[in-house]
Amino acid sequence: MFKWIHRFGSAPFVYRLAGALSPWVGMACLILLCAGIYIGLVVAPSDYEQGESYRIIYVHVPAAILSMFVYVVMAIASAIFLIWRLKLADVVAQASAPIGASFTFLALVTGSLWGKPMWGTWWIWDGRLTSELLLLFLYFGYMALRAAIEQPQSAARAAAVLAVVGVINIPIIHYSVEWWSTLHQPATISKMGESSMHPSMKRPLFMMIFGFQLLYAYVLLIRMRTGILQREARTSWVAQLPEVARD
Amino acid sequence: MTPKRRQRLILVCLMLFGVGVAATIGLTVFKDNIALFRSPSDIAAGKVDAGTRFRIGGMVVEDSVQRRSDNLDIKFELTDRVNTVPVAYNGILPDLFAEGQGIVAMGQLNEEGVFVASEVLAKHDENYMPPEVAEALKKAGKMPGTSANFGASSLVQP
Amino acid sequence: MTELANFFHMGGYAWYVWPSMAITFVVLLANVWFSKRQFKSVLRETATRSKALAQKHAQRRSNKTTEQSS
């Protein structure tokens, strides 16, 4: 059992596993995203209140959910790195940051494009929008901190502390629409069992959320391989890799 | 777990706890500033000073909208189902503006207690369904409500 | 034809729906493209460096053998 866990701490094993997994994850992601966006844009009916504009939900909600999910992954990996000094946990956190930042950016931009026609404004400083913008700055801060500190070990530790501390923003984003009066409406799909979305509209939404999750996994696997290569460049197992040894 | 790792675990937990406490205190203290809008009940309770600009939120009362045919002047009443405030506005309304719709308006109270708005935004709810389904639910009187926070006195669903 | 035009019209919200889709497409694609490009460049760097290192080792070894034989 412990031996099995131990293998996931071994860089060569994870490097090869990520390489073997990534094409399959990428394929599944592509299929799911294509099917989801087709059903969402063409098959799903229009909304009784918002007409066709509600279709932005099929990119806005997956991006917003993933922006928080990726941060939680980053914070957990950072905590593991701080406590156990596991190098691979740092690889995961570092690889996640730019992906999470891009999802946060997407959530903000698509939300703005949805807010203008429905609410009547591109932006408002309410609890939900402000905390999501703070999330974007947390990602930027994490990446800037890593880039600013020259010594890699101290850079990793400082960034990990920031990631762990910043996780407090995640429940704030999630509950902002319940704690305070906001312009943003409460969550549609967090209410399990209770259907606040018609099944014909919910199905493609779940496909898109899962597709975004697979895209995160796919890009994470590639970035993790890059991170491992950079950290282990001088080791003999890297030198013996067929893709490195080849002329 | 080695003592050193345990020490670091405790340190990380303490760090999270500290930030959590700080955030809770900060957000509680500034609760009123974080809230986007006041409710008609807040105004009835005298929580808003006359002459200050603020945002008000609530539902547009059914059959209360009065439009002029020659200009964009519009008058309607805003309710949180406990108290009601009359609103006057002149300008472009968002597509979703309708009676029974949740809205948020920016402006100030005049001497007669009318809220003079300079901007009106629509607040839609978290329910999505095709028009036919909405029609059927409306007929059956089973239209789902919203769990949105409408300020001091939350909306009671019909 | 009108059906297709209707689809692109998006009930009058075309200017909001289509840019949302476009920017999502661009950002997702950029994620994949940049991560792949970075991986390839790091791989190339690693290969060059490890080859240089191997050459240096080989040279040192051959130097040693010549020293011993003389």
pLDDT tens-digit readout, B114-127: 999 999 999 888 88
pLDDT band at C23 (very low <50, low <70, confident <90, very high): very high
CATH among 2.40.50.140, 3.30.470.20, 2.60.40.1120, 1.10.10.10 for B37-140: 2.40.50.140
Of C16, C45, C50, nearest to A53 by CB-CB distance is C16
Residue numbers of the domain that contains A142: 36-42+54-245
- Nearest chain A Cα distance for residue B90, angstroms: 15
Share of chain C above pLDDT 70, in %: 93
B131 has a pLDDT exceeding 50: yes
For the stretch A226-240, pLDDT in tens is 999 999 988 888 888
How confident is the model over C7-33, as a mean pLDDT?
A: 94
Residues 6+ apart with CB under 8 A from A59: A37, A106, A110, A208, C20, C21, C24
CB A3 within 8 A of CB A168: no
pLDDT band at A80 (very low <50, low <70, confident <90, very high): very high
C59 has a pLDDT exceeding 90: no
pLDDT of residue A179: 87
pLDDT of residue B156: 41
> What is the reported pTM?
0.91
- Beta carbons of B5 and A83 less than 8 Å apart: yes
How confident is the model over B32-51, as a mean pLDDT?
A: 84
Of A54, A118, A178, nearest to B122 by CB-CB distance is A118
| CB neighbour burial string for C55-69, b if at least 16 within 10 angstroms, e if fewer | eeeeeeeeeeeeeee
- Nearest chain B Cα distance for residue A72, angstroms: 13
CB A74 within 8 A of CB A206: no
Residues 6+ apart with CB under 8 A from B72: B90, B91, B92
What are the contacts of B108-114 at 24+ separation with CB within 8 A?
B108/B50, B108/B51, B108/B52, B108/B53, B108/B54, B109/B43, B109/B48, B109/B50, B109/B51, B111/B50, B113/B85, B113/B86, B114/B86, B114/B87, B114/B88
The string of DSSP codes covering A77-125 is HHHHHHHH--HHHHHHHHHHHHHHHHHHHHHHHHHHHHHHHHTS-S---
How confident is the model over A98-114, as a mean pLDDT?
A: 97
pLDDT band at A187 (very low <50, low <70, confident <90, very high): confident
pLDDT band at C68 (very low <50, low <70, confident <90, very high): low
CB-CB neighbors (< 8 A) of A126 in chain B: 36
- Beta carbons of A180 and B5 less than 8 Å apart: no
How confident is the model over A99-112, as a mean pLDDT?
A: 97
pLDDT of residue B142: 77
Secondary structure of chain B as H, E, C letters: CCHHHHHHHHHHHHHHHHHHHHHHHHHHHCHHHHCCCECHHHHHCCCCCCCCCEEEEEEECCCCCEECCCCCEEEEEEECCCCEEEEEEECCCCCCCCCCCEEEEEEEECCCCCEEEEEEEEECCCCECCHHHHHHHHHHCCCCCCCCCCCCCCCCCC
Of A110, A225, A238, nearest to C20 by CB-CB distance is A110
In a domain, A22, yes or no: no
How confident is the model over C2-23, as a mean pLDDT?
A: 91
Give the pair of three-digit tokens for residue B147.
């769990």
Residue numbers of the domain that contains C20: 2-69
Q: How many domains does chain A have?
A: 1
* Rounded distance between C-alpha atoms, residue A83 and residue B5, angstroms: 6
pLDDT of residue C56: 86
For the stretch A134-183, pLDDT in tens is 999 999 999 999 999 999 999 999 999 999 999 999 999 999 988 888 89
Give the pair of three-digit tokens for residue A64.
């917003």
CB-CB neighbors (< 8 A) of C38 in chain A: 223, 226
Residues of C with CB under 8 A from a CB of A: 7, 10-13, 16-17, 19-21, 23-24, 27-28, 30-32, 35-36, 38-39, 42-43, 45-47, 49-50, 53-54
Number of neighbouring beta carbons within 10 Å of residue C44: 12
Provide the sign of the torsion angle of the four alpha carbons A40, A44, A48, A51, taken in this order: positive
pLDDT of residue A193: 55
* Rounded distance between C-alpha atoms, residue B86 and residue B65, angstroms: 10
Q: Where are the domains of chain B?
A: 3-33, 37-140
Residues of A with CB under 8 A from a CB of B: 45-50, 54, 57, 79, 82-84, 117-121, 124-127, 161, 164-165, 167-168, 172, 177-183, 185-188, 191, 196-198, 200-201
- Beta carbons of B133 and A57 less than 8 Å apart: no
- A127-141, B61-75, C54-68: the lowest-pLDDT one: C54-68
How confident is the model over C20-39, as a mean pLDDT?
A: 97
In a domain, A230, yes or no: yes
Share of chain B above pLDDT 90, in %: 32
A133 has a pLDDT exceeding 60: yes
A191 has a pLDDT exceeding 70: no
CB C26 within 8 A of CB C20: no
C52 has a pLDDT exceeding 90: no
- Nearest chain A Cα distance for residue C5, angstroms: 13
Q: Give the ipTM of the model, two decimals please.
A: 0.90
pLDDT band at A192 (very low <50, low <70, confident <90, very high): low
Residues 6+ apart with CB under 8 A from C57: none
pLDDT of residue A171: 95
Share of chain B above pLDDT 70, in %: 95
